[in-house]
Structure 1
Amino acid sequence: MIKPIMTRLIFLLPLMTLCLQSNAQQASSGVNLIEKVCQQSEKKDLCISSLNSIPDGPKSKDLTGLELVAIKVASEHAQDTWGKINKLLSDSTLEPTVQQNLADCSDQYLDAVEQLDDSIAALLANAYSDVRVWVEAAISDASLCEKATQQLSSKSAEIYTRSNTVVSMLNNILVVNKQLAGK
């Protein structure tokens, strides 16, 4: 009874070691791929942290997986920013100018989230140039909000900062897209 178990262990041990090495190499190549892609980003640290933010995602597989992660993370931040804008809009003490700019931002972020949804559909269809078009449109919307809130009031300062981060995340999608399209 002990002999068959030992034989199995002797056979399985090298196989398990080989599997563990393969998994470690894949994880390492995923990290290397992220770092390689993010070297072309203006905000490398944000690029690396956002692409690593989804555990067990498709990020270590290939550029398509990285772009999908980048879109998902940017979309989540855009949706969260849209929610914070709408929460601020419920403040009845806002100056009319601030209120109008935030209402415009709300519309722009709603558009940006929809454009990111469209970019996912384009990515899944391997239409990389369409992804670029949708992401550039989302950048335009988020940038308009960023500019509109830049010098308004302390209440809109958070929206300015968040918009700046969303624009950077959207630009990181374009970094991945450029590499994917050139592949």
Structure 2
Amino acid sequence: MEVTKLLSLFAIYFILLHNQIAFAQVNDQINKVCEKTPNKDLCIQVLASDPLSESGTMSDLAMISLRVAASNATGILTDVKLMIDDPDLEPEVQQGLSDCKETLLDAEGQLEDSIAAILSNAKNDIQLWLQAALAAIDTCDASIPGDDDILSKRSVAFRELCNIAVAISKNLGNDDQA
């Protein structure tokens, strides 16, 4: 009976040790990838927060970063739609928000195209779609008069998330070396 308990404890110990080693390897992979991004801390936060990162493949990490960027774009778009209807806004600002809404819809589509490019292993297309999404947010910012508009902080975050996706997608095909 004691031998059975001892063997069970050893089995549990080895399972836990294996899981800890695998977790350390995933964290090492995320750290290596995020070293190559413009905002390492944000990159680690984004990637480590998703259970899909446990697989540790570059494609999965790129997908995570794109999904977070797309979610951010959707949030900005929601804010823009709410602000457009504000009757107290000046007509130029309302027009700028309307233009911004259109370019954000484009950016969402470009992020979806980036995801499709990952799924079809079209590395060059990913970069093109991400650059188009970044251009769309620049157009959005430029369409709203003034430098301190409400969306500036959100668009900065969107750019950071897209730039993380750009850096990660450059490593696609290098799954064993970040």
Same fold by TM-score greater than 0.5: yes
User: Larger deviation: 86-95 or 27-36?
Assistant: 27-36
The ranges of structure 1 where at least 4 consecutive aligned residues each deviate by more than 6 angstroms after the TM superposition are: none
**14-23 vs 163-172, which moves further:** 14-23
How is 1:1-183 mapped onto 2 (pairs within 5 angstroms)? 3=1, 6-54=2-50, 56-149=51-144, 151=146, 157-181=149-173
CA 1:158 to 1:24, structure 2 compared with 1: closer, same or farther past 3 Å?
farther
For the 8 Å contact 1:115–1:134, the answer to whether it is kept is: yes
Q: TM-score, normalised by structure 2?
A: 0.89
Shifted more, 142-151 versus 23-32: the winner is 142-151
How far off is 1:123 after superposition?
A: 0.7
- Could you report, residue by residue, the CA deviation over 1:95-133 in whole angstroms, capped at 9, with x for unpaired residues? 111111111111111111111111111111221111111
Structure 1 residue 58: Cα displacement: 3.1
TM superposition shift of 1:29: 1.8
Where relative contact order (Cα < 8 A, 6+ residues apart) is larger, the structure is 2
Aligned partner letter, 1:148: S
Unaligned runs of 5+ in 1: none
Moved more, 30-39 or 75-84: 30-39
Aligned length: 175
> Offset at 1:181?
4.6
TM-score by length of 1: 0.86
Residue 33 of structure 1: CA displacement?
Answer: 1.6
Task: Compute the displacement of 1:15 (Å).
Answer: 2.2
Select between 42-51 and 92-101 the one with higher mean Cα deviation: 42-51
For structure 2, the 5+ residue unaligned runs are none
Distance (Å, rounded) in 1 between the aligned partners of 2:21 and 2:153: 37
Contact 2:23 2:54 in 1 (8 A): no
Give deviations 1:112-167, integer Å, cap 9, x for gaps.
Answer: 111111111111122111111111111110122133347256xxx23111011101
Counterpart CA distance in 1 for 2:155 and 2:145 is 10
Shift of 1:78: 0.5
Letter in 2 for 1:164: V
Tell me how far apart the structure 1 counterparts of residues 36 and 80 of structure 2 sit (CA, whole Å): 31
